Chain A
Amino acid sequence: MSKIVDKVLDQHHREEERKVYSSREGPPESNVMKRKKKYDSKLEVVKAITDIMLSGDVVGDSEHAKEETSKQRLLSSYFAFLFYKVVLLNMYLMFGLFRYFQYQYNKMKLRILSLIYNPTSTPQLIRQDVLKLNKIPKRIAAILEMKSVGDIGGGLEGLLNDASEVICWTVSAGIKHLMLYDFDGVLKDNVDNLILEINEHMKLYYGPANVPNYSVHIPHLNKTYYSSEEIKNDEDAKKSIVISVSLLSNRDGRETIVDLTRTMSELCASKEMKLSDITMKLIDTELTHLVGHEPDLLLYFGPSLDLQGFPPWHIRLTEFYWETDNDQVSYLVFIRGLQKYSNCKINVGK
């Protein structure tokens, strides 16, 4: 049934260059926490909290208040409403204070942990950390995001740097498959730069003489790139590949599933395929061809879990790991994710 895959891929090749999405609505908490650059000083944190409270008040006044008052025009119920509103505001204030201290505590914890887990580009240290674990995942995925150009580690450079760091850690940990997801597909668009950057990092980790072989695959376009030109035609060298990286974006999520549906309906309409041929197994194999295998562990390097449209079919039993209030692509998230994974047991259905 690779006919279906071919057809979908053909469609992908023909479609126009997609524009980069600028804004995306994430879950509320991570939306706010990512904007925190503005609220750096304590005064501004307090200001932000009051802002949130005030805006909450305005919302309440415009929508809910009208509804409520039109329903029950009694004066007493209006006072009750005001009373509840005030209590709610106080609750938010207390929550804000609590959240502020929690934030500071988490930051402190992360700082100490990053002292403990500091590999300084040494594969041996990473190896040592990983050898202590009783199982490691076969495939891992990581969600990366491009920070704004003004930030430290922001812009395209920062993203490429983060991606290559994660790749180097994965190689050192001895994991063979890595999926890198970024919402806009920036990594896909800059594959050539990415490969240069990976080479630089590999040299730093393993020395210029023994850069390991790797491949970078873009499932959406079905293209594969290799660390050097020679491997492309050399079958033996392909076996020595230590890591295969695949680059995903939002395009591989819901849209690919709908593409698949569309293609199958066309095939069914032209009688090349029967309706009864569509089974769960078929769809699973097709999506595995189109996107990749399901990862065992998904790492997110943001402040609170935000899946950002990661392909839905592929997170069935995936373990998620993120550090609350962390905003850097740091080794401690990576190694602690592996530690968490090694301790969890998966029993499907039982």
Chain B
Amino acid sequence: MYLVLVPLAQLIWRTVTWGEGDRRLSPAAVEGEVTGFHWMEAFSGPSSNAMLFEPLANSLFTGLFAAVFALLLGGVLAWVVTRTDMPGTSWLRPLLIVPYVVPSFAIALAWETLFKSPRIGGLPGLYETVLGFGPPEWLSYGPTPIIITMTIHYFPFAFLLICGALASLDSQLEESAELLGASRWTILRKITFPIVAPAFAAAAILTFGKTIGTFALPFLLGQPVQYATLATRLFSTLNQGLDALGYILALVLIAITALAVYASSRVLGGNLNRFETIGGKGFKGQLTRLRNWRWPIFGATAAVALAVAVFPLLLLGYQTLMLVDGFYGFDNLTLHYWIGESDPELAEGEPGLVRNDVILGATWITLKLAFISAAICSVVGLIIGYIVVRDRGGWIAKLLDQISFAPFLFPAIAFAAMYLSLFAEARGPIPALYGTFTLLVLISVVNRLPYGVRTGTAAVAQIGRELEEAAEIQGASWMRRFRQIVLPLATSGLVAGMLVSFVGVMRELSLIILLITPSTRVLMTVGFRYAEEDQVQLGNALILLVTVLTLAGQYLVWRLGKGRLARLRERSG
């Protein structure tokens, strides 16, 4: 509570008081006094249109479209991968997740490399190099590429969520309809979809929440043509030192996401987690036969996987090998940026990746941070999920459910700012954590908690209540039950939670940038600096490093959980 509500309260408080620099906004400003000026200005001031409403409309536009496309793409792919006899699912599945693992700004960079507009000058992009003329402007910058890249980045997210629901769907439901003579399309529409609809809706909200708050993609692909969304406008205002206005934008962003969550929970009968109760029984589903369509559908899926996962990485990888950025040719290839010694002529004298102390140090810290926070986050998420499930309908459960969702709505940079002041000094029992690794862990955990809680809730919902009651009757205390019954049985959920958190922490930048000290530097902050200095090769090499490490970490976590999972499959109560 302290970790979520206090920052929120501070945020709101700042928007209704005069701050230090506010005498620039109005001569009437007296620092510390309460005022409605900021809200008036944002909503009805002379520049409220450009300041708030236009970016708001843009955010909704790109966010909604991207969410819808991501859902459709993710949903169809999830169905094809989990419910049909399409070949190659075992290697397609991990590939399809790659775009989510890759930092979002890397996708934007790849897009820029490909569809670079001749208007901005410099060396021609790949498109122009190959075709001889530049791409149309709407394809280079603005809403179209934002929606496309967001879709690419977030469809794996929807894919994962829907896969989970589909995998636990009892195929008998589908089969009985088939026996009644229903066509495959009818089955899909009338049986499969309604059953996974709640999962689908949950995926929709989470995806929308992500797309609407996305910063890097609209930032890199929108601002060259002055296309602003709430997230990028928020960043601009904070950058200009007009923090109260920025926080109002943040609150609007929070409100929209909260509204979406509320609306969907109304539609779903007030229970977001309903779908999770169908999970976990482990019915072995019969797969839909695609017959003649088997190979064409495989082709299409593989093409998607290649286009969104393999190709961007290859492109980035290729760039790291270019001695001089932008020259496509064999004589321009080098491994300098990977293994080279420091050369004052190249990359400001920075040595190649494997010799670079800064990168290596940051790698270690990043991995440590990601593992520790992912582990804590999933356990805390499990505990909260436990309370939410077991005390269903109780007010504590509801409150916890809501609060744990809140960090999801916060713009990370504002969140980080709040944490900075919250933990700067010792308050009561809470020691001053500023500049410590612990604080990084703490904020990463809280920031990732919504995901931890969602997966934790799902995991607990799958554990039959009787399993725990059986232990309760034998006199096992709550701690013991949690440790010996719930925790081991929720391993699969825990692992899933860890995977999601791990990826998130690995990629997190804005959250950490304020809290960073040289001893706590992480990969993304280093990568961000390379991007700032336009050190394309080193930057891309770093992105590849992050991607590979994330995938490796995922694999490791997955292996850890897998051994235990096998035994639990059959009868879990």
A binds B: no
Interface residues in chain A, defined as those with a beta carbon under 8 Å from any beta carbon in chain B: none
Query: Could you list which residues of chain B lie within 8 angstroms of chain A, going by C-beta atoms?
Result: none
